[in-house]
């Protein structure tokens, strides 16, 4: 008799009983889905580059947009892409674009609207694309989505558009976005960094991501059993976007049962640090950039010397953070990698931790909000007519 299939250390039959099968599968599948995303992009390389090159050559404004987790993709990428492309790259949620388009769209500025969507059916995302067409004279659409049947996928197929459709398995069936987040993030990073260049980086990224699943799933299960009441995620520059996504994952999967906060290490001292008490877990994402890393380390050292938090964990791709091994998640094989490559292994521990906290709260991770007041695809949004 073959061994039972497990996900995150739990038999699939038990996961099914717990209402947790899809969440566990989708967290576990990320290394392979990242590889598949790169393969898909490589197959479409010529079409993607032909679409983007004229826009990048003339330094078109780039807006990265989405709602919720899809918006945080933009926050994870915008600063790095702006520096790399030497053009305006801004992360503006569809929830802002939809309610105040006049504040964000510039009529005479050539613009590429990059829309992220797991389902591609969020009302604000469709409205933002429509409003962009109305406000901006020279507008192009790049849609990165996991759902071939979504409204956004069709929107990117217009004369001035392109849709990048990700592998079907990334169209996460669970409530919380996990593999959809990582693969949409990767697709955008590769499209704007060079698909061929990323071909040389994908294996190290996927291997490091698998390494976290293999080496730290049990540790995150243990951490989730330690009774924390407040969880803080901290990261500098692009990692502040990742900190925000990490906090949302925990909030979603515990159905609001835990207090979460995100900030930057430098920003945390300016008031938010008052959240720390003896029931607080703090997680710090470390940059590979030596200059930025100094600030990350200073805050980590300060929190440990304060001795107010119950525990402080460093997630790092380099040694030398100065904390006990038990309080370090050490990413292997990316010691000299660009910070953008770290986004993918770094998000794993927050996802796994949130998964086990959901179970510990007596919830079903695949659908933690039993009342239906919060939904996988947002409901109840009324898009108003613009005069």
Contacts of 38 (CB under 8 A, 6+ apart): 186, 190, 195, 198, 199, 202
Q: How many CA within 13 A on the CB side of residue 46? A: 1
DSSP state of 372: S
> pLDDT tens track of the chain, all 387 residues?
567 899 999 999 999 999 999 999 999 999 999 999 999 999 999 999 999 999 999 999 999 999 999 999 999 999 999 999 999 999 999 999 999 999 999 999 999 999 999 988 888 889 999 999 999 999 999 999 999 999 999 888 888 999 999 999 999 889 999 999 999 999 999 999 999 999 999 999 999 999 999 999 999 999 999 999 999 999 999 999 999 999 999 999 999 999 999 999 999 999 999 999 999 999 999 999 999 999 999 999 999 999 999 999 999 999 988 666 679 999 999 999 999 999 999 999 999 999 999 999 999 999 998 877 665 566 666 767 887
Domains and their CATH numbers in the chain: 6-199 (3.40.50.10490), 202-361 (3.40.50.10490)
Question: In a 3-state reduction of DSSP, which class is residue 332?
Answer: coil
Going from the C-alpha of 55 to that of each of 89, 153, 185, the distances in angstroms are 12, 20, 20
What order of strands is seen across the sheet that includes strand 89-91?
89-91, 61-65, 111-117, 139-145, 161-165
Residue pointed to by tokens 């510990």: 360
CA dist 296 and 264 (Å) reads 9
Q: How far apart are CA 362 and CA 47, in angstroms?
A: 47
Asked if 314 and 329 count as a contact pair (C-beta separation under 8 A), the reply is yes
Please report the pLDDT score of residue 374 as a whole number.
Answer: 62
Position 27 scores a pLDDT of: 98
CA 350 to CA 72: how far, in whole Å? 15
Task: Tell me if residue 112 falls in helix, strand or coil.
Answer: strand
In the prediction, which pLDDT does 345 show?
Answer: 99
Alpha-carbon distance of 148 to 161, in angstroms, equals 15
Q: Provide long-range contacts, Cβ within 8 A and 24+ apart, for 52-55.
A: 52/112, 52/142, 52/191, 52/192, 55/110, 55/112, 55/140
Residue 29, token pair as written in the block:
């599948």
Q: What is the chain's Cα-based Rg?
A: 20
Helix axes 348-360, 339-346, angle to 10 degrees: 20
Q: Which two tokens stand for residue 333?
A: 């094989």
pLDDT of residue 324: 62
Tokens of 9: 């250390």
Supply angle C-alpha 260, 76, 236, rounded to 5: 65
Task: Say how far apart CA 275 and CA 268 lie, in whole Å.
Answer: 10
Residue 56: how many CB atoms within 10 A of its CB?
Answer: 15
Task: Determine the Cα–Cα distance for residues 53 and 340; give it in Å rounded to an integer.
Answer: 21
Note the pTM of the prediction, 2 decimals: 0.96
Which pair of tokens denotes residue 275?
A: 């959240």
**How many CB atoms within 10 Å of residue 212?**
26
Question: β-pairing, 6-7 with 61-65?
Answer: unpaired
Phi and psi at 362, nearest 5°, equal 75, 25
């Amino acid at each position: 008799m073959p061994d039972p299939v497990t996900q995150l250390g739990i038999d699939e039959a038990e996961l099914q009983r717990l209402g947790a099968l899809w969440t566990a599968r989708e967290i576990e599948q990320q290394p392979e889905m990242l590889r598949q995303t790169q393969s898909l992009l490589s197959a479409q390389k010529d079409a993607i580059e032909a679409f983007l090159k004229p826009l990048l050559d003339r330094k078109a404004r780039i807006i990265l947009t989405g709602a919720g987790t899809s918006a945080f993709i933009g926050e994870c990428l915008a600063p790095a892409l702006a520096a790399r492309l030497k053009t305006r790259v801004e992360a503006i949620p569809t929830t802002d674009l939809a309610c105040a388009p006049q504040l964000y769209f510039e009529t005479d500025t050539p613009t590429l609207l990059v829309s992220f969507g797991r389902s591609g059916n969020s009302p604000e995302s469709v409205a933002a694309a429509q409003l962009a067409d109305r406000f901006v004279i020279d507008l192009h659409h790049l849609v990165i989505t996991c759902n071939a049947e979504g409204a956004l996928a069709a929107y990117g197929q217009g004369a001035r558009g392109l849709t990048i459709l990700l592998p079907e398995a990334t169209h996460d069936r669970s409530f919380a976005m996990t593999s959809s987040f990582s693969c949409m993030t990767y697709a955008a990073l590769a499209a704007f960094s060079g698909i061929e260049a990323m071909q040389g980086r994908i294996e190290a990224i996927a291997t490091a991501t698998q390494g976290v699943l293999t080496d730290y799933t049990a540790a995150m299960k243990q951490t989730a059993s330690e009774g924390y009441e407040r969880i803080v995620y901290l990261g500098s520059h692009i990692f502040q976007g990742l900190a925000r996504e990490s906090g949302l994952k925990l909030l979603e999967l515990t159905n609001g049962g835990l207090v979460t906060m995100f900030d930057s290490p430098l920003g945390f001292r300016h008031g938010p640090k008052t959240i720390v008490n003896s029931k607080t877990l703090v997680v710090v994402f470390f940059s590979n950039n030596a200059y930025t890393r100094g600030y990350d380390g200073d805050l980590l050292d300060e929190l440990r010397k304060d001795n107010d938090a119950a525990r402080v964990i460093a997630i790092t791709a380099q040694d030398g953070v100065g904390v006990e091994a038990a309080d370090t998640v050490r990413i292997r094989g990316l010691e000299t990698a660009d910070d953008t490559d770290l986004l993918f292994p770094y998000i794993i521990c927050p996802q796994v931790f949130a998964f086990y906290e959901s179970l510990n709260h007596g919830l079903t991770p695949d659908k933690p909000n039993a009342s239906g007041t919060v939904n996988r695809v947002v409901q109840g949004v009324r898009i108003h007519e613009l005069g």
